[in-house]
Amino acid sequence: MKKEFITKGIMLTFAAMLMSAMVWAQGDKASRPSPPQTATGKVGAATVTISYSSPSVKGRKIFGDLVPYEKVWRAGANEATIFETDKAIKIEGKELPAGKYSLYAIPGEKEWSFVFNSETGQWGIKRSGETSKDASKDVLTVKAKPGKSASANEKLKYEVTSNGFALSWDNTTVPVSIK
């Protein structure tokens, strides 16, 4: 009886260890095909942080194909991209209060829209393929002009500078001014 109890205890311990290892492995976002990245910088007195998942080009046509024109995009991969500022700022001349927002983009050939949405923590798209953005929680929408980047960017990246932020991927860069 005692031997059976010890054997069951060892088996249960082994099963628990195996399950916890599987749970930890699922939580390792760095091993995803589109790993998490963070861009942080100062714009005036404000600290701006953009947290996103960075997909790769992998030989694909990006804008106008993988990321369609005139459709809401989560501005990254996996979870919706997060834009955070510790102070109120003006983006493209429009006021954005301090806080944490989901950042969405609507790419266009000649003009992009960036949407700051108060709902955070959601997965970037629904099973239907549409974004998870709830338009009733949009706080601010601004326009920006895309341009050709100085060099091709295999991975999506954001950069925060003293003048604002820029999204760069493939041969496209989209600067957005902040004051």
pLDDT in tens, 33-78: 789 999 999 999 999 999 999 999 999 999 999 999 999 999 999 9
CA 84/CA 97 separation, integer angstroms: 10
Which residues, listed in sequence order, are joined to residue 176 by a DSSP beta bridge?
165
- Mean pLDDT on 153-162: 97
Identity (one letter) of the amino acid at 106? I
Give the pLDDT confidence score for residue 23 in this predicted structure. 45
Q: Which two tokens stand for residue 53?
A: 């998942």
Which is more confidently placed, 13 or 122?
122
Per-residue confidence (pLDDT) for residue 25, from 0 to 100: 46
Q: What percent of the chain has pLDDT over 70?
A: 81
Question: Do the Cβ atoms of 137 and 93 come closer than 8 Å?
Answer: no
Collapsed DSSP state (helix, strand, coil) of residue 89 = strand
The DSSP annotation for 17-65 comes to HHHHHHHHHHT-GGGSSS-EEEEEEEETTEEEEEEEE--B-TT--TBTT
What's the whole-number mean pLDDT along residues 150-163? 96
At 67-90, the pLDDT tens digits run 999 999 999 999 899 999 999 999
Q: Check if the beta carbon of residue 37 is closer than 8 Å to that of residue 29.
A: no
12 token code pair: 């249960």
Task: Output 127 or 107, whichever has higher pLDDT.
Answer: 107
173: how many CB neighbours lie within 10 A of its CB?
A: 18
Reduced to 3 states, what is the DSSP secondary structure of residue 4? helix
On whether the CB atoms of residues 112 and 59 are closer than 8 A, the answer is: no
Distance CA 107, CA 73 (A): 8
Give the mean pLDDT of 100-121.
Answer: 96
Cα-only R_g, the chain: 21
